[in-house]
Amino acid sequence: MIVGYGRLSRHGVSKQEQIEALRRARAKHVYFDNKTDRGASSTALATCLAGLTDKDTLVVYRLDCLAVSIRDCIELLSRILNSGARFRSILDSIDTHTCDLQTIVSALIELERNIISERTKIGLGAARARGRLGGRKQILNSSQQAEIIHLWRDEHKSRPELSALFGVSVSTIERIIRPPQKRLTK
């Protein structure tokens, strides 16, 4: 038997849209949670999972309607497959009838990497557009750095003395006084 499950999505997929898609996928029973998070309030999901047998296929509209994180998704997929049931996600084109859990997990891990990478790029681009560059702000301005170099070379102050004098770590002093390294080109 084909069993459908849905829940309110944070990404704007309506309850009606999900139910219609699950019915088109020939779901005989449709369980639906009216909250966006999967937690103690996911009574429909708990009921749905408890009733799955090895003759069933659980169908969802897309993966984010099943789980709120990759970890939850993997845990739920394992639970579904351990019950002997099959799983299918309509929009994600995932069907355990045609692939195994390891293939799905690999796809999910790759998907999460891509999502993180894309979000990072978007965030960095937005920061650049606001005039912000990456990295921390420099602790010492250029005149302080010049003074450190002068005290190091001409007055022979030690790294710990300079560190205490300017209130920074010894490694910060080291980065300022060491000569820039030349890059080796091939």
First to last CA, the chain: 63
Q: Are strands 57-60 and 2-7 parallel, antiparallel or unpaired?
A: parallel
9 has catalytic annotation = yes
Using an 8 Å Cβ cutoff, are 65 and 13 in contact? yes
Q: Which of 9, 41, 42, 83 is catalytic?
A: 9
CA 98 to chain centre: 27
Q: What six digits make up the tokens of 75? A: 């845990």
Residue 13 CA to residue 114 CA, distance in Å, equals 22
Q: Supply the residues annotated as catalytic.
A: 9
